A and B are shown apart, each in its own frame.
Chain A
Amino acid sequence: MTGEAEHDVVVVGAGVAGSLVAKQLTRAGFRVLVIEAGPATAWTFDGYLSHLQTFYTATGKGPESAWPPAAAAPQPDTRDLRAGDGYFVQDGPLKYGSTYTRLQGGSTLHWLGVSLRMLPEDFELRSRYGVGRDWPLDYPSLEPYYRAAEREIGVAADVADQSHLGVEFAAGYDYPMQRIPPSYSDTVLAAAVDGMQVTSGADRVTLKVRSYPAARNSIPRGDYHPVGAVDERPKGQRLARDLGQRCAGNTSCTPICPIQAKYNAGKTLAQADGTKLQVIAQAVASKINVDAVTGEVTGVEYQRYDDPSSPRHTVHLARGRAYVLAAHAIENTKLMLSSGLAGASGTLGRNLMDHPSIYGWGLAKAPVGAYRGPLSTSGIDDLRGGAFRAQHAAFRVDIGNDGWRATTGAPDTAVADAVLTQGLFGADLRAHLTATLPRHVRFSLNVEQLPSMTNRVSIDPRQVDKLGNPRPVINYDIDEYTLAGMAAAKSFYQGVFRRAGIDDRTDQEHAAWFPTVTYQGDMFRYHGMGHFAGTHVMGDDASLSVVDTDQRCWEHRNLFLVGSGSFPTMGTSNPTLTMAALALRTADRLTAELSG
């Protein structure tokens, strides 16, 4: 544990943020060490295929089904939510419904790929609407990094679809790839819904079904080359990179794109300068050492294990000139807390957010082609912004192409129900299923959540994992503002269903199990979107935030906490694109500083 720093920068975590930082810094000539808690199985083509087999043979097809964790790097799992006996210590009052993956590649291995920019107003919630917090950054200052992020992760969309609610793009800019074609159900719904007006507070809002930006390969624009599968083998043998250069409409974006047409962070790490990069997988960062006088980080201890099924490990120290924690909002915080670096502001671990989401589902009058194509290709974004946000949460609507899969477990449960409760078989059973399944419609309404000091992750020395590292203790609640947003979202989808002639079959009692909340007599089942944010929020006042606009830790000047943990608020956009933009910004700052 002595000697000169071998690396310029030590990055903890090989997910999207860490991989982007590693790529940028190695390409700028710096030596980067990435330590990753989980195995690197998805990093080889054969390994990725083995995850595909794991998914095919899994009885449940949840988001984690393709990505089982190592014993030394446990992770939350949706299946554990009901019993409450998973990796998270759910300390209430409500259960926190989201999960993430501790593998090289991170949660991008099973994300859907939605890559929305945040709205300009999302950065100014406090000044504009008197709620939440303002960001220390505004949309125009982040816009160049949004463009860079869209190129880095390969986003397919058309600016013409996305220029609304104040979102502006640089002149002449368009996304690196054309939008993924809308599904048939999108077009059927658009024909019924486009132009419909709804009232939201004092506003009249005109609705439009919009294709959303997706990190899935499509028709490239200009000189952009879609990035195919990750295939890290000896030079000369990397053949699988030809694969996945276009989305083929497979229906399992989540949990696993079988051809890697969807972005995962391995694609970015594979583009790093390999001569400057060292990646150590199966290495759990366990302690950050700091100089007691200067506060500067002097090293990161990590526990290296050889056997993913065993907690046996050895302890090592990684040293660099600068340190970047990119291990996830929860894991970054956990590592800081367990290293005794809670800080003076009292905000570390607090302001934990998600997009608690509700489902609405129904039966269309005619077949809409359910259960085909990417899980979702369009949404309704019109209630993401507006003056009503002074009163209640905004929400975003995902239109599913996967029928009632998520809400009731159809088509399997639909077959079981037809046989067991309706007594159908043979030709009648076939007729019933072909008459109903293709008409299944599903909306997911993803509701904004504001930062709150009492929604938090903390640690408890009595609650540790097999390596003796703390498990995250989660305190979580959903406040009136978000509940009122859920109620607005419910009446919204009911109105849209009526307009489109969709028979509302939403049935909370018989739906797939998710935790519940009650608001004004209505029961809502909410599911997590995997959209963790907050925990180490950025600000321009060291007494109220953990990091500054560069994601640099106020109290440890060579330490950066990157990722959605830095978000003061999240609005309604999926956090990955914004997290990527912030990571690129931080990489720029680090490059300038280390060069100086």
Chain B
Amino acid sequence: MSVDRLHELLDAAVKLELATIPPYLCALYSIRPGGNEEATLVIRSIVVEEMLHMILSANVLNAIGGRPRVAGKENAPHYPHELPNGIVMDLQPFSAASVEAFLRVENPQHPPETSDSAPATLMGRRTELHRSSARSVSAGPTTIGAFYGEILDELTTVASEIGERALFCGDPARQISGDFYYAGGGAPVAVTDLASARRALAEVVEQGEGEMASPYDEDGDLAHFYRLEQLKYDRSYLRSDTVGTPTGPSVGVDFRAVYPMIPNPREADYADPDLRAASATANRAWIRLLEQTDNAFDGAPSNLIPAVHTMFRLRDAMVVLLANPLPDSDGHHAGPTFEWEPSAPVRARASR
């Protein structure tokens, strides 16, 4: 048990939360304007909570003198991306398969993919699986909830070993407060001691697996897992419904009213120069966003204010890609690649 070990675990936690964001964004912005309103609301609501979870984990890491890293090739997420519990997050459009993946992220009890093979809709485009560092650093096979449980146990142990003061030695000015992150899935918790660290991580776990105790939270709102189930079954939950069987009216899911983004694209797939330029624009915005976030985690939290503008730029660039058909690709559309360092096009034409 050591502080170094905690740094390693919390660093992995920050990266874990970050890695969930691009798949949700692909689903969100692949929805064509003017439909799937409930799905849009649900996915948006989840993705902002994942942002909050990343902030909360970073606050805990900063509080114990760590340095959360999200920028750089070795820190940015790569796709397809395998989370703890064998959950694979692909970059893919809003679809039955993406809803299944999201259900698994929200609830470890949700059945895993039934066969060894990836969903057919991925068309064999799940290669080079990138594993979450949460898998490699955790003590054993784990779920996301169990991973946070391990962190909480470690915090308590180390605090008792070296003293709470000594553990929580981080500069309070490095905390992300409500002045820099607000109205996004909840309020951040400034972490200064064991109690506030527990509060911060409890928020992460409660918004995730902790919801499983009851479909409704303390405000009476349906938890995300069940909102995703409403999308899966295209039925809303009535108060009288039993878990797993919503019987209310349709929530307006239409998987066809979606841009059919090619799964797990690479910028190198885009031979068309205009598409490649659009992809480069999206990746630049993504990289900028990670750099601003990284700086925000490194003592300059005000970087999150201009990062909001970068998020709009990223969205706009994503929508350009998603709305464009990809030539010679069975009607698939282009999509964002979320690559830190896009490789050269594989199909670059040889000059004659």
Residues of A within 8 A of B (CB): 45-46, 49, 53, 217, 219-220, 225-226, 228, 234-240, 242-243, 245-246, 248
Contact = CB atoms under 8 A, between A and B. Distances in A.
Interface string B5-39: 00000000000000000000000000000100110
B65 interface: no
Nearest to A242: B45
B182 A220 contact: yes
A220 B179 CA distance: 7
Contacts of B183: 217, 220, 226, 228, 245-246
Interface string B128-147: 00000000000000000000
Contact of B41 (A53, A219, A239): A239
A228 B182 CA distance: 12
A242 B185 contact: yes
Report which residue of A226, A235, A237 has the largest number of chain B beta carbons within 10 angstroms of its beta carbon.
A237
B239 interface: yes
Given A237-B222, A239-B222, 18 more contacts: A49-B37, A217-B183, A219-B182, A220-B182, A220-B183, A235-B220, A236-B216, A236-B221, A236-B237, A237-B237, A239-B45, A239-B221, A240-B41, A242-B45, A243-B41, A245-B183, A245-B184, A246-B183
A242 B227 CA distance: 14
A238 B183 CA distance: 16
B178 interface: yes
B182 A226 contact: yes
Contact of B182 (A235, A239, A243, A246): A246
Contacts of A234: 238-239
18 contacts: A220-B183, A226-B182, A228-B183, A234-B238, A234-B239, A235-B220, A236-B216, A236-B221, A236-B222, A239-B41, A239-B42, A239-B45, A239-B222, A239-B227, A240-B41, A242-B41, A242-B45, A242-B185
Contacts of A217: 183
Interface string B219-230: 011100001000
Contacts of A238: 221
A21 B220 CA distance: 26
A217 B178 CA distance: 14
Contacts of B221: 236, 238-239
Interface string B191-216: 00000000000000000000000011
A247 to B, nearest CB: 10
B236 interface: yes
A541 to B, nearest CB: 48
A93 B41 CA distance: 51
Nearest to A222: B178
B232 interface: no
Contacts of A242: 41, 44-45, 48, 185
Interface string B41-68: 1101100100000000000000000000
A46 B38 CA distance: 10
Contacts of A45: 37
A326 B191 CA distance: 47
Contacts of A46: 37
B236 A219 contact: no
A217 B183 CA distance: 9
Interface of chain B: mostly helix, strand, loop or mixed: loop
A393 B48 CA distance: 49
Interface residues of B, number: 26
B270 to A, nearest CB: 27
A189 to B, nearest CB: 21
B153 to A, nearest CB: 32
B220 A236 contact: yes
Contacts of B238: 234
Nearest to A227: B183
Contact of A243 (B44, B215, B237): B44
Contacts of B185: 242
A49 to B, nearest CB: 7
A226 B48 CA distance: 15
Contacts of A236: 215-216, 220-222, 237, 239
A389 B312 CA distance: 46
A180 to B, nearest CB: 13
A83 to B, nearest CB: 34
3 closest A-B pairs by beta carbon, nearest first, are A245-B183, A236-B222, A246-B183
A237 B45 CA distance: 13
Contacts of A237: 222, 236-237
B101 to A, nearest CB: 20
Contacts of B178: 219-220
A307 to B, nearest CB: 23
B106 to A, nearest CB: 15
A219 B45 contact: no
A248 B316 CA distance: 14
Contacts of B41: 239-240, 242-243
A246 B305 CA distance: 12
Interface string B158-186: 00000000000000000000110011110
A240 B37 CA distance: 10
Nearest to B236: A237
Contacts of B216: 236
Pick the most buried of A45, A219, A248: most chain B CB atoms within 10 A of its CB. A219
A43 to B, nearest CB: 16
B220 A219 contact: no
A31 to B, nearest CB: 23
A219 B185 CA distance: 14
Most chain A CB neighbours (cut-off 10 Å) among B178, B183, B185, B187: B183
Nearest to A241: B221
Contacts of A225: 187
Nearest to B221: A236
A225 B186 CA distance: 9
A121 to B, nearest CB: 35
A54 to B, nearest CB: 13
A47 to B, nearest CB: 12
B302 to A, nearest CB: 11
A239 B252 CA distance: 15
A248 B37 CA distance: 19
A501 to B, nearest CB: 28
B242 to A, nearest CB: 15
Contacts of A248: 312
B179 A219 contact: yes
B236 to A, nearest CB: 6
A578 B178 CA distance: 30
A228 B236 CA distance: 22
A46, A53, A236: which has the most chain B beta carbons within 10 Å?
A236
Nearest to B183: A245
B214 to A, nearest CB: 11
Nearest to B187: A225
B66 to A, nearest CB: 27
Contacts of B45: 239, 242
B343 to A, nearest CB: 34
Contacts of A53: 34
Contacts of A219: 178-179, 182
A225 B215 CA distance: 24
A82 B233 CA distance: 53
A248 B48 CA distance: 15
A242 B238 CA distance: 21
Interface in B62-82: none
A217 B239 CA distance: 32
A585 to B, nearest CB: 30
A293 B148 CA distance: 74
A217 B221 CA distance: 23
A281 B215 CA distance: 33
A248 B313 CA distance: 13
Contacts of B236: 237
B122 to A, nearest CB: 29
Contacts of B239: 234-236
A237 B42 CA distance: 10
Contacts of B184: 245
Contacts of A226: 182-183
Contacts of A239: 38, 41-42, 45, 221-222, 227
